[in-house]
Amino acid sequence: MLEVVGLSKSYGTGAKVTRAIERLDFAVEEHEFVGIVGPSGAGKTTLLKCIAGLLAPTDGQTLLRGVPVTAPPPELAVVFQDYSRSLFPWLSVRRNVELPLRRKQEVADKGRAAAEALGAVGLAGFEDHYPWQLSGGMQQRVAIARALAYQPRVLLMDEPFASVDAQTRAELEDLVLRVREQFGVTIVLVTHDIDEAVYMSDRVVVLSRPPSTVQEILTVELPSPRDQVESKALPEFVSLRARVYETIMQPAAKVAG
């Protein structure tokens, strides 16, 4: 479904070049959930923007179904961290969700698509509210509904729960896992939260310190459906969490060795 091939990104010119990510290689299968973690400043958001076609890589490429991504493709949607800046406060919840559908000609009934997406995230009945009338968690649900209404094949999420409290975060994690099954979407999640990555993902891609490389790719074999209490109490979860943390904290050469 999605391939990252030799992807590198640098900023600046001449002697002031800063290498953010360097020759990243990994693939995402259809319907898979892949979490991307790494140290602070590892270029996780840069990587996601390159995958989405929002930022041109210095070298390498991203392939979506074998086609190079040079601009945001129509079958891909992004949910950003800062929901307060991604929603239009003067538009109702319904209008916010319907807005990107104007570019999606194949969605004939845009009102129905918006209603189905809002129902999937538990916001049926809030269609005529405005974002500023909702809690932070509800606003992020609107952002997720907007992405789902667009009917993407791939959903990219950039630390989407970082701005909410712990309880809301857990609720949104489970919400995303449910809608993933309901809509059959492939998901790539960038997060700084190791527990979140292990709990939600089928595989976890661990990045090194910058210039970031892929340190390790770990398969998560926790039973499904996941449960916030039972899954996180399993020895497999504890072991994987420790492995991810250990990998993040170690130098790249030591992990490779």
Cβ contact 99:114 at 8 Å: no
Please provide the CATH number assigned to the domain covering 1-75+186-257.
3.40.50.300
Residue 123 · residue 46 · CB < 8 Å? no
pLDDT score, position 108: 64
- HEC readout, 194-248: HHHHHHHCCEEEEECCCCECEEEEEECCCCCCCCCCHHHHCHHHHHHHHHHHHHH
Which of 11, 23, 104 lies closest to 55, judged by CA?
11
pLDDT of residue 143: 92
How do the pLDDT tens digits run along the chain, 257 residues long?
999 999 999 988 777 888 899 999 999 999 999 999 999 888 899 999 999 999 999 999 999 999 999 999 989 999 988 877 889 999 999 999 998 888 766 666 778 889 999 999 999 999 999 999 999 899 999 999 999 988 899 999 999 888 888 898 999 999 999 999 989 999 999 999 999 999 999 999 999 988 899 999 999 999 999 999 999 999 999 999 999 999 998 765 454 44
pLDDT of amino acid 253 = 47
Amino acid at 256: A
Distances (CA, A) of 249 to 75, 100, 135, 209, 246: 36, 40, 35, 9, 5
Determine the pLDDT at residue 257: 45
Beta bridge partners of 63: 3, 68
